[in-house]
């Protein structure tokens, strides 16, 4: 795979020599070893703060890490994880992720994170665009990455919320190919089948979703499938 990065492996015992280079597509940017090591330490400290649920402080550490080394991928992933659940304006997170996208090109994971932010902000048009980019790049980078099913699932959820039910069903279908025992996908696809007058398919999905552990399906079955 070309652009899937392991968030944890970058952080454990990884210190660089002055010759280390950061790749940006086919361009190479020289990384100062001292600044890279500083970014690693700051990111490790931020991870500890995240475990302590001190997300605001973690964001500050990660901003400092990016300032020290603007090519250190885990710091960008970390600031997304630290900032996404905080209340308030998310424009700074969008800016950081856009910076990362410009450096780590064709990175499906970054597009997915941006899509999540836009979806949480109820900006479904931009969310659908970012999920679409994530899906497109995953075709290049490989679909064996564990979260790729969620690219389709979350885009489908945006289609559902904007009443584009047929498009949602198509994405739920593909998401199930990648995550076949996911109760939530069956639950949401069932709702879309109901909205397009496919009651039998809806009831099948809800039955399967209930079998897989989502109790919400029991209510749907009792209401629509007797």
193 part of a folded domain: no
183 part of a folded domain: no
Tell me: pLDDT of 145 over 80. yes
54 part of a folded domain: yes
19 part of a folded domain: yes
The answer for residues whose C-beta is within 8 angstroms of residue 191's C-beta and 6 or more apart is 160, 202, 220
CA-based nearest residue to 129, from 120, 138, 119, 121:
119
Is residue 196 a contact partner of residue 169, using CB atoms and an 8 Å limit?
Answer: yes
190 part of a folded domain: no
Q: How does residue 146 score in pLDDT terms, banded at 50, 70 and 90? A: very high
Q: How does residue 197 score in pLDDT terms, banded at 50, 70 and 90? A: very high
- The CA distances from residue 149 to 37, 71, 181, in Å, are 34, 27, 12
Is residue 159 a contact partner of residue 128, using CB atoms and an 8 Å limit?
Answer: yes
More confident residue, 177 or 25: 177
Is residue 61 a contact partner of residue 45, using CB atoms and an 8 Å limit?
Answer: yes
Span 37-57, pLDDT tens digits: 999 999 999 999 999 999 999
What pLDDT, on the 0 to 100 scale, is given for residue 31?
A: 81
Q: Give the position of tokens 């690219």.
A: 151
What pLDDT, on the 0 to 100 scale, is given for residue 134?
A: 98
Percent of the chain scored above 70 by pLDDT?
Answer: 87
Distance (Å, rounded) from C-alpha 49 to C-alpha 120? 24
The count of structural domains within the chain is 1
Indicate whether this model's pTM tops 0.85.
yes
Distance (Å, rounded) from C-alpha 186 to C-alpha 210? 9
Span 102-141, pLDDT tens digits: 999 999 999 999 999 999 999 999 999 999 999 999 999 9
Is residue 225 a contact partner of residue 206, using CB atoms and an 8 Å limit?
Answer: yes
Q: How does residue 26 score in pLDDT terms, banded at 50, 70 and 90? A: very low
What pLDDT, on the 0 to 100 scale, is given for residue 28?
A: 64
211 part of a folded domain: no
25 part of a folded domain: yes
What pLDDT, on the 0 to 100 scale, is given for residue 16?
A: 40
Tell me: pLDDT of 12 over 50. no
Token reading at 23: 């790749």
What pLDDT, on the 0 to 100 scale, is given for residue 102?
A: 95
| Domain span at 34 | 7-89
39 part of a folded domain: yes
Span 49-100, pLDDT tens digits: 999 999 999 999 999 999 999 999 999 999 999 999 999 999 999 999 999 9
More confident residue, 226 or 224: 224
Please report the sign of the dihedral spanned by the C-alpha atoms of residue 144, residue 6, residue 107, residue 86: positive
Buried b or exposed e, range 5-30, using 16+ CB within 10 angstroms = eeeeeebeeeebeeeeebeeeeeeee
Distance (Å, rounded) from C-alpha 198 to C-alpha 205? 11
Is residue 50 a contact partner of residue 41, using CB atoms and an 8 Å limit?
Answer: no
Q: How does residue 15 score in pLDDT terms, banded at 50, 70 and 90? A: very low
How many residues are there in the chain? 226
């Amino acid at each position: 795979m070309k652009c899937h990065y392991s968030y944890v492996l970058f952080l454990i015992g990884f210190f660089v020599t002055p010759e280390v280079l950061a790749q940006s597509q086919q361009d190479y940017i020289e990384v100062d070893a001292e600044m890279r090591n500083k970014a690693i330490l700051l990111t490790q400290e931020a991870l500890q703060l995240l475990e302590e649920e001190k997300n605001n402080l973690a964001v500050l550490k990660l901003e400092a890490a990016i300032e020290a080394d603007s090519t250190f991928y885990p710091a960008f992933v970390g600031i997304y994880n630290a900032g996404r659940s905080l209340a308030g304006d998310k424009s700074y997170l969008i800016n950081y992720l856009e910076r990362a996208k410009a450096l780590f090109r064709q990175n499906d994971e970054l597009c997915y994170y941006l899509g999540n932010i836009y979806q949480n902000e109820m900006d479904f048009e931009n969310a659908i665009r970012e999920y679409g980019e994530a899906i497109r790049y995953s075709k290049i980078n490989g679909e064996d990455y564990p979260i790729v099913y969620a690219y389709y699932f979350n885009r489908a959820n945006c289609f559902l919320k904007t009443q584009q039910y047929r498009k949602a069903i198509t994405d739920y279908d593909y998401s199930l190919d990648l995550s076949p025992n996911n109760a939530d996908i069956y639950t949401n696809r069932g709702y879309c089948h109901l909205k397009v007058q496919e009651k039998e398919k809806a009831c099948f999905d809800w039955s399967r979703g209930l079998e897989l552990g989502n109790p919400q399906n029991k209510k749907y079955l009792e209401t629509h499938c007797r």
